[in-house]
Amino acid sequence: MKSAATTTAVVWWPLSSKGLRILDLGSGSGRDAYTLAALVGESGSVVGVDMTDEQLEIANRHLDYHAEAFGYKASNVEFKKAISKSWMNWGWKITASI
Ligand SMILES: C[S@@+](CC[C@H](N)C(=O)[O-])C[C@H]1O[C@@H](n2cnc3c(N)ncnc32)[C@H](O)[C@@H]1O
């Protein structure tokens, strides 16, 4: 019997996510960014970067909804339009990226 091909993913995640500032490259409609926004807590933040106006528009539509749902005073997420390979030149202080 042939064995099935397997794929191994290596995932690193800090023991505590609170307070991290996370860069989400290719953030699309923002689902992952908003999940991360809950994980990092109100003291953390998420920057979502995408090159597509339509995706950014959808993602930005839900900033207030999620801030309210998580009980935050203000959204800890922002979305920016950019091509992701240029992010290293932006000079942001980032603690993790996906
Ligand atoms: C599968 S979607 C991401 C979905 C997203 N993680 C979510 O939770 O909704 C991939 C996104 O990457 C963006 N993208 C692809 N290449 C990119 C690049 N070089 N720079 C910026 N955005 C890029 C596309 O516009 C698309 O919105």
For the stretch 52-67, pLDDT in tens is 999 999 999 999 999 9
Substitution site in 50, 80, 84, 86 for ligand 1 pocket (most atoms within 8 Å of beta carbon): 50
pTM: 0.84
The yes or no reply on domain 21-84 and CATH 3.40.50.720 is: no
Residue 24, strand partner residues? 48
Q: 62 CB less than 6 Å from ligand 1? A: no
- Contact between 13 and 95 (Cβ < 8 Å): no
Listed residue (43, 8, 44, 41) closest to 23, CA to CA: 44
Where the chain has pLDDT below 70, the residues are 1-12, 87-88
Structure confidence at residue 89 (pLDDT): 74
Any idea what the Cα angle at residue 59 is, between residues 61 and 82, rounded to 5°?
130
Q: Give the Cα separation of 56 and 36 in Å (integer).
A: 17
Structure confidence at residue 92 (pLDDT): 73
